[in-house]
Each structure stands twice: as structure tokens, then as C-alpha cells.
Structure 1
């Protein structure tokens, strides 16, 4: 299992380097009194992270977070954090650092995420403010933010409950959450599945790039 996981991570890093080489362009911009480096990327969100990986997570911070959550992080995510990067290059606007919150979220890490692939959190109709608040409170349990897609849409990694280890798509505006399904197997994605799906589409000129994982829910 560990050998397979290590091989997948090595392949992902190689493909990420290949994508960076093909997509990231740098230019020198003359501002008159000085010159600065400008960046241009064609892949959605890449201009934010520019394919740079942050340093791996501080192990003391990881241990403290796992104590607070009360569970060990999903294996694939834990290996990525400790062996590769704590934030930076990845799907959408890049992978969030460990436990970074969005939309001023108050995440209850100690509670179970109660939704499942069979029972996701459906969008709230416009004007149903009380239900919107209830949904948001239920969504922000036992999960962590993985990536920002823009326009109030996020990718979440479930840490506790029956959907533990799965990556979900979340619309803050509509207070909804739905598992992201693999386009071939129709199974919910794990962390590395999610990363590989994005890379595969980004590197395949015959496919449209991933502008939102909402297309796979």
C-alpha cells in the first residue's frame, strides 16, 4: 500500500513539473522606474499558485491538529502534507495549507460530517435564510477546506463521518455540498484521485480543463 502510494505521488510530482513547463510563462514588465516579472498561465487558477509547492507541514502542527480533530487524517492527504507540500500548487487556486478556513468558517472539527453520497446537502432556494444557515452549520463539521475555485465555490476533504476521506464540492452561496465523482467509475474521489483528475485534464489537449469540480458532482 505504501509503495503504491509513494509511486502515485512521484508520478503526480513529475506531471506537475510537466504542466508547469508547458503552462507557466514569465515576462518582464517595464514600469518605467523599474522592471518586474509578470506571470501568465492558461490553466484555471494557476496564476495564483504558479505551480509552486510550499514546504511540507511542520510535524508538531500536524500532531496538534490531529489531536484537536480527534482522528488521524486520511492517509493520502497526510502523506502529501508530510512528504510533499502543505499548500500551494494544485487544483483550482491551489491547495490550502492545513486547516485554513474560508468564508470566515467556524468549522467544528470534532463533529462528524453527516452527509453521504446517497444523502448530499442540496442547494437552498433563494430567500430561505434560516435553512441556508442550518445547512452551512451542518456542512462545516468534520471537514477541512482543500481548494478555492472562486465565486464562493470550494473543494472540501471530509475528515470524520461516513464520507471520511472523500473530496466534496461546496457552494457557499447555495449552502450545498456534494461528493465529486470520478467521471469513469462514478465513485467519490479521494485526495490523490482529485489531484490526478485535475492534472490529467490539464495535460490532455483533447479535454476541456477543469474550471470547476462541480461538473463531476
Structure 2
């Protein structure tokens, strides 16, 4: 019960801060298309003009139950709380959150298998001239995880759903067939879903530091 309350308090804090960021960042403008005028959006925060700080509806309970049955395990608790109480997709880091189990790059995620990597044993980029290694890496990466957010330029954030790294957010380069753990800059602990969201928000709201343009900044490249 205490954990659930702490989680609810963190989500409430995120929503408050997100409202502050939206008020400061989201600007609209009228764009003429010749025969009509449409509303355009200008934002300083990377990706915000795509999601425009708008939330999708919470996850459908029946669809969520069916997915967890397919997965074979429950979703990470903090992520599950978010998509059931706030939004399944929409406002969030990078270009916004993907809805649950929406795949990118025509990926065919094997949800019944464990994510094969751990912070101690990540997946470094494939050799540039090795198509077989690229294919092998992608096959291993696209297991037991879901696409969480699109950074652009073929880079993504993944949420691990199964295996030893379950609950962690990882940085994924599809082009280079790499997957690296994200570590908090202060604690050096792996980022979980709410950690990841809070880190992005804190940087976006602090005028004294650069916003997060890519979570590659927090990827543990030293273990490549």
C-alpha cells in the first residue's frame, strides 16, 4: 500500500510539472495553406510539437489483460499505473509515448521471450560491415520489450518487460542494432519508467541545463 501511494504521489508530481512545462513551452501560430488556415505549434522542447502535451485515453482494461496474458507476466508496476490512470501514449519524453505494444521499424517483437541483455551485458553496435551480426542483434533486442518513445533518426527508448532487466528503460539504435542501459546521472542506477520521465521533465524545466535531446546521453557507453 505504501509503495502504491508513493507511486501515485510521484505521478501526481509529474502531472503538475508537465502542466507547468506545457504552459511555458506550447505556442500556437496560424499557418496559411492558401485555401485555408490551420493551427501550427512551436515548442522549444524536443519532440513536443509532435505530442503537443496531449494525453491519449488510458489503456483499455480488456486489451491490457489480453496483452499481459500474451506476455506471460505483469507489466512493470510504475508503467502499468501510468497507462491505466493517466494515458496510454501521448505526452512524454522525446516524440511522446507510444501506446502499449505499438511497434516501430516494422519490428515483430517476441513478447513471449525474455529480453536477453542486462546492464552488465548490454548489446553494443553491430560491426558496420556485418549484416548477419546486425540481424542477430535486432532479433535479440526485439524480445521481451516494448517501444516506449521515438527519439528520431532511428533511435528509440525501450521498456524491458521480461527477463533480468525487466522494468528498466534502455536506449536502442535500430540503425546500429545496439541496446544500452540508461543510468541515472546521480545514482548510476538503471532508469525505471517514472525515473526516466522525471529526469526528462527536470531537465526540460531547468533553464540552467540543456534539455534531453537523446537519452543516449545517459546510456552506459562505458560497458559497450
Q: TM-score, normalised by structure 2?
A: 0.95
Deviations 1:168-206 (A, max 9, x none): 000001101011110000110000000000000000000
Return 5+ residue gaps in structure 2 as ranges.
Answer: 220-224
Corresponding residue of 1:204: 206
Q: Distance in 1 between matches of 2:213 and 2:114?
A: 29
Q: Structure 2 matches for 1:2-41, cutoff 5 A?
A: 2-41=4-43
Measured after TM superposition, the shift of residue 32 of structure 1 is: 4.2
Written as runs of structure 1 = structure 2, the 5 A alignment for 1:37-48 is 37-48=39-50
Q: CA deviation at 1:142?
A: 0.4
- What residue in structure 1 maps to residue 96 of structure 2? 94
What residue ranges of structure 1 are gaps of 5+ in the alignment? Answer: none
Q: 1:113 aligns with which of 110, 115, 119?
A: 115
Partner of residue 222, structure 2: none
CA distance in 2 between partners of 1:31 and 1:102 (Å)? 31
**Alpha-carbon displacement from aligned partner over 1:72-121 (angstroms, at most 9, x marks no partner):** 00000000010000000000000000100001001000001110000000
How large is the RMSD of aligned CA atoms in angstroms? 0.7
Counterpart of 1:172 (choices 171, 174, 180) is: 174
In the alignment, the residues of structure 2 paired with residue 157 and residue 18 of structure 1 have an alpha-carbon distance, to the nearest angstrom, of: 26
- Cα distance in 1 for residues equivalent to 2:94 and 2:135: 26
For 2:128 and 2:143, the matched residues in 1 are separated by 23
Deviations 1:116-171 (A, max 9, x none): 00000011121110000000000000000000000000000000000000000000
- 1:3-40 deviations in whole A, cap 9, x for unaligned? 10000000000111110000000112234433211110
Q: What corresponds to 1:153 in structure 2? A: 155
Query: C-alpha separation between the residues in 1 aligned to 2:33 and 2:136?
Result: 50
Structure 1 position 163 matched with structure 2 position 165: yes
